[in-house]
Structure 1
Amino acid sequence: MDDYIQQGIHGIREIKPDERRKFLGTLRERVVVVLTKQQVREPGTYKEIEDLMKKNKDATLFLNGTMDYNEMSDYIKIANKIGSKFIISTNKEANTDLGLVLAYDHAINKEDIYIKKQKEQIEVQKHENHFSQFFKKIF
């Protein structure tokens, strides 16, 4: 009875509210991939996101509603093209650096959910190319 009264006063008790605020309304254990706000703001889109959306069509794309619509629109177009669900999460009280979360409605417990920034990927590729060219010259 006490739980019922407390629920009436304070609202429905939420499991892991801080985690839900960080991951735009979902839990970490359900996440396929995330991008930071800064990554979403970069020109163009991440190919990895489109590929993962195609592979995980039953997953929902959560977008941070505190961002400008123009910054998210390319990802919304991809979701519409693929036929994926998307939600614009507009919790003004949540302070998160995430701009995009692709997640299921059940736990998948994927270990690595972060994508390196495009600039970092390009630098790694350049470094690998220089390294391989060095060895080609030697051998």
Structure 2
Amino acid sequence: MSDELQNHMNKGMYGTPQINPDERRKYLGTFRERVDVVITFEELNNPESLLDLSQEMSIHPDFRLIINGQVDAASLSKLVKLANDHGIDFTATSDHNLPNDSTDFAVVFCDKTQAIHKEKIDIFECYPKKTENSSHPKHRSLLERLFG
């Protein structure tokens, strides 16, 4: 009986214990295993990130978009329009304790209830861009052309 009373008092004083609170804070309220792609604040300024996110939304129309409340108004309106165009449910978090540095997550696109365990979640790791140098053939030197 005393253990139940102690648990009840602890919940009253400290709140209900949460599972992985740091992970949930980092991923804007969801768990890492549910995440499909993320966009950092720095990557959000790149227009290609929204095109790549649009492709992911086409592939997974039943997923959810979570937007960090610290995102600027212009980016927020683009994200909301993109979500509405694809019929994606979205949430804009308003927790001021969320991280908002350039390397922190501005956008999380995730499954609503199930774990998907995707290894690469950064938007530019999922959609790598070809560099200009890789599209041009390498010029061979004179010695390589003569002897090679």
Settle same-fold status: TM greater than 0.5: yes
Which residue in the other structure is 1:79 paired with? 83
Q: CA deviation at 1:135?
A: 6.6
Q: Percent identical across equivalent pairs?
A: 31
Which residue in the other structure is 2:116 paired with? 108
1:47 alignment partner, one of 30, 43, 51: 51
Q: Counterpart of 1:54 in 2: which secondary structure? A: helix
Question: Conserved in 1, the CA contact under 8 Å of 2:49 and 2:124?
Answer: no
* Counterpart residue identity of residue 58, structure 2: K
Q: CA deviation at 1:6?
A: 1.5
1:64 alignment partner, one of 46, 68, 80: 68
Q: Cα gap change, 1:129/1:43 in structure 2, threshold over 3 Å: closer, same or farther?
A: closer
Question: Conserved in 2, the CA contact under 8 Å of 1:61 and 1:84?
Answer: yes
How is 1:90-101 mapped onto 2 (pairs within 5 angstroms)?
A: 90-96=94-100, 97-101=104-108
Question: Conserved in 2, the CA contact under 8 Å of 1:40 and 1:72?
Answer: no
Which residue in the other structure is 2:132 paired with? 126
Q: Cα gap change, 1:24/1:63 in structure 2, threshold over 3 Å: closer, same or farther?
A: same
Q: Counterpart of 1:49 in 2: which secondary structure? A: helix
1:20 maps to 2:27: no
Q: What is the root-mean-square deviation of aligned Cα atoms in Å? A: 2.3
User: Highest Rg: 1 or 2?
Assistant: 2
Q: Deviations for 1:25-81, whole angstroms, at most 9, x for unmatched residues?
A: 111100000000111233475321111111111111000101222122112101101
Q: CA deviation at 1:3?
A: 2.5
Task: Provide the aligned length of Structure 1 versus Structure 2.
Answer: 132
Q: Deviations for 1:73-105, whole angstroms, at most 9, x for unmatched residues?
A: 112101101111000012211225110000112
* Counterpart residue identity of residue 52, structure 1: E
Q: Cα gap change, 1:14/1:94 in structure 2, threshold over 3 Å: closer, same or farther?
A: same
CA distance in 2, matches of 1:45, 1:128: 21
TM-score calculated relative to the size of structure 2: 0.79
CA distance in 1, matches of 2:123, 2:47: 16
